[in-house]
């Protein structure tokens, strides 16, 4: 028996094992494997492999070895079939197993195996690998590898917990998590770094739990002072996602200002909320206790509606929804109307000239824009925003973890701070299911 056929026989046994796995289910324990979607509904997939590579058709429950065409393989789909370099090879799914080197897709190398399957005449590409090898690719995409080890380990443990708790997220797509910011950014081997590898290895198998179940370990770049309550951002009460000091004043996004021309604002909000028609007026509809705008009222020529700060952030492309807002009215000289936290109604003060620095004092008067005679005959020129933070602000602040690590806190103390009431547990000692809350937003 030559070496090649022994390899193929081993692979067929492996393939039978793979097919028997329930899709979308991450087993906890030492051998936990994950399926990560690299490409979805694509017309073609180009793979390259430097070394010996095996290709198997797993279709019809009868795995069949196919010849690997060399260092370039172009997969396409027509109808229910998959074509390799323009020759039909079967219905798939196809399993690509590198034997002596990595397989390369989109100029990036991947550990583990690749699975190609036909979904309604288009192709999906999935990377199947161990959870720990996956995390080696994820952690350095989330935080700089040069950060202190306790911050890297906190990120590794949060990402491991997030991965397991969200393993059903892309169930209908045939994998568990995608490789973009929708889930967690993952680009294979080339993103790996020895320091983040060490953080993954030394935190091996650790997860965060609350009442014995995996938490939804959401995290973000910078909260901007205090982390946010999940109830405010996602309208869902979660006991361990409550505001705590964020420790992140060292972040470049600790404070920021934006100025958006009114025409540009109209275009952006028009795309997000076309039913409202051309924007006429925008004003706060609700404030948080610490004076942030958390709901906005949009008045358009065709309708009116209240949106959340998060919806506004997504529509306009802001770093976060932690903001105070004002509108500059023209012509020259511009007058800026700032809305600051009032006792009951949105209230306004006027500052001049147009600088994003409101005078932080209790407003003298509350009321509608029309109540300000200074604004008569002046059209809105731009929206000015005084903001803080980057991301949704719920759970772990990455810049906060860095600062806590610099101050001497370890990963357990950092995680217990940002997820109050939660604790570290070993995988395998907790059920392989998440708590009831699974977030729709990881950033």
Binding site residues, Zn ion, CB under 5 A: 178, 182-183
Q: How far is the CB of 191 from Zn ion (least distance, A)?
A: 17
Nearer to Zn ion, 178 or 223 (CB): 178
Nearer to Zn ion, 45 or 178 (CB): 178
Query: Contact, 144 vs 198, CB < 8 A?
Result: no
Alpha carbon distance 386, 214 (integer Å): 36
Alpha carbon distance 23, 389 (integer Å): 37
Nearest to 404 by CA among 259, 247, 185, 282: 247
Nearer to Zn ion, 174 or 330 (CB): 174
**CA atoms within 13 Å, Cβ hemisphere of 36:** 30
Q: How far is the CB of 37 from Zn ion (least distance, A)?
A: 7
Q: How far is the CB of 181 from Zn ion (least distance, A)?
A: 8
Q: How far is the CB of 373 from Zn ion (least distance, A)?
A: 51
Q: Which helix (H) or strand (E) holds 156?
A: helix 149-165
Q: How far is the CB of 58 from Zn ion (least distance, A)?
A: 24
Compute CA 177 distance to the chain's CA centroid, rounded to the nearest angstrom: 11
- Asked if the bond preceding 166 is cis, omega within 30° of 0, the reply is no
Nearer to Zn ion, 158 or 349 (CB): 158
> Which strands make up the sheet holding 87-90, listed edge to edge?
87-90, 81-84, 72-78, 44-49, 103-105, 108-110
Q: How far is the CB of 341 from Zn ion (least distance, A)?
A: 36
Nearer to Zn ion, 116 or 183 (CB): 183
Nearer to Zn ion, 178 or 269 (CB): 178
Nearer to Zn ion, 138 or 178 (CB): 178
Q: How far is the CB of 145 from Zn ion (least distance, A)?
A: 24
Helix axes of 194-202 and 131-142: crossing angle, nearest 10 degrees: 130
141 DSSP assignment: H
114 DSSP assignment: E
**DSSP reduced 3-state for 254:** coil
Q: How far is the CB of 169 from Zn ion (least distance, A)?
A: 6
244-281 b/e with 16+ CB inside 10 Å = b? bebbbeebebbebebebebeebbebbeeebeebeebee
Q: How far is the CB of 180 from Zn ion (least distance, A)?
A: 6
Nearer to Zn ion, 166 or 425 (CB): 166
Alpha carbon distance 22, 63 (integer Å): 17
Query: Contact, 397 vs 223, CB < 8 A?
Result: yes
């Amino acid at each position: 028996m030559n070496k090649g056929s022994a390899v193929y026989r081993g692979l067929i046994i492996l393939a039978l094992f793979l097919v028997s796995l329930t899709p979308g289910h991450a087993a906890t324990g030492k051998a936990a494997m994950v399926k990560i979607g690299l490409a979805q509904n694509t017309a073609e997939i180009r793979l390259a492999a430097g070394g010996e590579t095996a290709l198997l058709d797993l279709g019809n429950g009868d795995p069949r070895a196919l010849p690997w065409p060399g260092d370039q393989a172009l997969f396409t789909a027509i109808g229910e079939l998959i074509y390799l370099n323009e020759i039909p090879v079967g219905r798939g799914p196809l399993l690509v197993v590198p034997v002596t080197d990595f397989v390369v897709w989109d100029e990036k190398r991947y550990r583990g195996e690749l699975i190609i399957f036909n979904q309604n005449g288009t192709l999906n590409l999935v990377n199947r690998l161990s959870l720990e090898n996956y995390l080696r690719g994820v952690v350095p995409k989330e935080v700089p590898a040069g950060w202190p080890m306790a911050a890297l380990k906190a990120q590794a443990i949060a990402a491991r917990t997030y991965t397991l708790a969200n393993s059903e997220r892309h169930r209908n797509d045939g994998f568990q998590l995608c490789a973009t910011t929708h889930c967690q950014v993952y680009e294979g081997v080339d993103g790996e770094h020895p320091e983040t590898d060490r953080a993954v290895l030394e935190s091996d198998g650790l997860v965060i739990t609350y009442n014995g179940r995996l938490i939804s370990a959401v995290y973000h770049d910078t909260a901007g002072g205090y982390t946010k309550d999940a109830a405010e951002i996602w309208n869902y009460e979660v006991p361990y996602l409550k505001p705590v000091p964020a420790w992140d004043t060292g972040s470049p996004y600790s404070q920021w200002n934006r100025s958006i021309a009114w025409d540009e604002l109209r275009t952006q909000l028009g795309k997000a909320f076309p039913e409202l028609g051309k924007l006429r007026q925008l004003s706060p509809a609700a404030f948080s206790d610490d004076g942030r705008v958390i709901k906005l009222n949009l008045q358009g020529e065709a309708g009116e509606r209240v949106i959340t700060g998060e919806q506004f952030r997504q529509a306009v492309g802001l770093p976060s929804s932690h903001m105070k807002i004002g509108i500059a009215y023209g012509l020259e000289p511009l007058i800026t109307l700032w809305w600051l936290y009032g006792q009951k109604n949105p209230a306004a003060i006027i500052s001049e000239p147009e600088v994003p620095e409101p005078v932080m004092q209790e407003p003298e008067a509350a009321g509608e824009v029309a109540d300000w005679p200074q604004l008569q005959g002046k059209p809105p020129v731009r929206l000015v925003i005084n903001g803080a933070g980057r991301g949704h602000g719920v759970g772990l602040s990455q810049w906060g973890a860095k600062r806590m690590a610099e101050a001497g806190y370890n990963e357990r103390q950092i995680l217990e701070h940002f997820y109050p009431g939660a604790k570290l547990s070993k995988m395998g000692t907790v059920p392989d299911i998440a708590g009831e809350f699974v977030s729709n937003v990881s950033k």
